[in-house]
């Protein structure tokens, strides 16, 4: 059952946009909670061994979540999510940017658009991420993911072909 | 005014991708590159200029000729972040799968 859950990931480099679709084996209201409630978010958003720590989260339009990704060594990388649109159990939009520990934004950030739908007990989440700059994406990856990823020119050609 | 060059713009163009693949195989002069395309020499030259500004290709003077060769480090950067970002998501979502399962069990 869990094995055939859809995962789709495409990148439009020219538009600096990433499209992601993922299915989850749970009903809509649970998946919605998992994306919109701090106590559940903190259990899964940080790729282990990092952990997520939400200082506060006010999930409403104009509200924000102020949180940190904490490294195993205790290093904190703060970020802020500002909610710009919310339609309960349907979709929400947010602006995400890194910040310092005093909530000062480090621009540029990125815009995230989440859409939720349920069919036969499986919930599909479609995410569109628009990044203003490559620098921002590089920063996202800095967080604990420094191991090199080498790709041969052949692989690169295949990758570019799939993107065009 | 042209905005700051962005590697994404650079590789969004099919001609520029073709140029990258050519110079990845071997260093080439601007003339040799231009001969591979049906478009004007000027157009190809403009593409090379953009690739140079983005540091995707590097110039090297050999005698009287300028050769272009690929800057592999820069190319790897692009793929590195895409792949790693994907890896982060895969990890996150599998963590979420587990969390959802745990919550479902608790509810029963």
Phi–psi pair at B73, nearest 5 degrees? -60, -45
Q: How far apart are CA A140 and CA A137, in angstroms?
A: 5
Mutation target among B50, B99, B103 for the A interface, most CBs of A within 10 A = B99
Pairwise CB contact (< 8 Å): A140 & B92: no
What tens digit of pLDDT does each residue of B37-66 get?
888 899 999 999 999 988 889 999 988 999
Domain at A2-163: CATH code? 3.30.530.20
Residue A8's pLDDT is: 83
Question: Domain ranges in chain A?
Answer: 2-163
Q: Identify whether the C-beta of residue A156 lies closer than 8 Å to the C-beta of residue B79.
A: yes
pLDDT tens column, B77-86 = 767 767 777 8
User: What pLDDT is recorded for position A138?
Assistant: 56
B90 CB within 8 Å of a chain A CB: yes
B3 or A28, greater pLDDT: A28
* Total number of residues shown for chain B: 108
pLDDT in tens, A109-157: 788 999 999 999 899 999 998 876 555 555 555 543 333 222 323 333 3
> What local confidence, expressed as pLDDT, does residue A75 receive?
83
Task: Tell me whether residues A47 and B82 touch, CB distance under 8 A.
Answer: no
Q: What is the pTM of this model?
A: 0.65
**Greatest Cα-to-Cα distance within chain B, rounded to the nearest angstrom:** 78
- Give the domain ranges of chain B: 1-70, 72-108
Taken in order A96, A10, A135, B54, the sign of the CA dihedral is negative
Question: Which chain A residues have a beta carbon less than 8 Å from that of B90?
Answer: 7
Among A47, A152, A155, most B C-beta atoms within 10 A, so best to mutate, is A47
**What does the pLDDT read at residue A132?**
66
Q: B9 and A14 in contact by Cβ < 8 A?
A: yes
User: Given the DSSP bridges, would you call strands A76-87 and A64-70 parallel, antiparallel or unpaired?
Assistant: antiparallel
Neighbours of A56 (CB within 10 A): 10
Spatial contact of A31 and B100, defined as CB atoms under 8 Å apart: yes
CATH code of the domain occupying B1-70 = 1.10.10.10
Q: Are B88 and A140 an interchain contact pair (Cβ–Cβ within 8 Å)? A: yes
pLDDT at residue number A20: 87
Residue of B nearest to A11 (CA): B82
- The string of pLDDT tens digits covering residues B91-108 is 888 889 999 999 988 887
pLDDT of residue B36: 87
Check residue A13 and give its pLDDT: 66
The residue among A141, A147, A154, A163 with the most chain B CBs within 10 A of its CB, best to mutate, is: A141
Rounded CA-CA distance B18/B70 in Å is 12
Could you say which residues of chain A have pLDDT below 70?
1-4, 13-15, 132-164
pLDDT tens for B11-26 read 767 788 888 888 887 8
């Amino acid at each position: 059952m869990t094995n055939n859950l859809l995962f789709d990931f495409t990148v439009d480099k020219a538009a600096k946009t990433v499209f992601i679709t993922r299915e989850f084996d749970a009903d809509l209201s649970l998946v919605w909670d998992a994306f919109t409630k701090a106590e559940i978010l903190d259990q899964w958003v940080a790729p282990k061994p990092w952990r997520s720590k939400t200082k506060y989260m006010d999930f409403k339009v104009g509200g924000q979540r102020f949180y940190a990704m904490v490294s195993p060594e205790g290093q904190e990388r703060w970020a802020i999510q500002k909610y710009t649109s919310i339609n309960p159990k349907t979709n929400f939009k947010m602006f995400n940017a890194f910040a310092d520990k005093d909530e000062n934004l480090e621009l540029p950030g990125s815009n995230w658009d989440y859409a939720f739908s349920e069919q036969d007990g499986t919930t599909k989440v479609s995410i569109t991420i628009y990044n203003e700059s490559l620098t921002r994406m590089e920063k996202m990856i800095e967080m604990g993911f420094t191991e090199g990823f080498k790709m041969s020119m052949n692989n690169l050609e295949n990758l570019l072909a799939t993107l065009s | 005014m042209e905005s700051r060059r962005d590697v994404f713009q650079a590789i969004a163009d099919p001609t520029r991708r073709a140029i990258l693949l050519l110079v990845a195989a071997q260093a080439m002069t601007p003339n040799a590159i231009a001969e591979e395309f049906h478009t004007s020499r000027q157009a190809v030259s403009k593409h090379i200029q953009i690739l140079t500004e983005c540091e995707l290709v590097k110039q090297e003077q050999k005698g009287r000729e300028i050769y272009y060769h690929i800057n592999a480090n820069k190319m790897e950067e692009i793929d590195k972040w895409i792949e790693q970002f994907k890896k982060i998501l895969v990890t996150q979502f599998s963590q979420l799968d587990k969390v959802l399962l745990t919550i479902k069990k608790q509810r029963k």
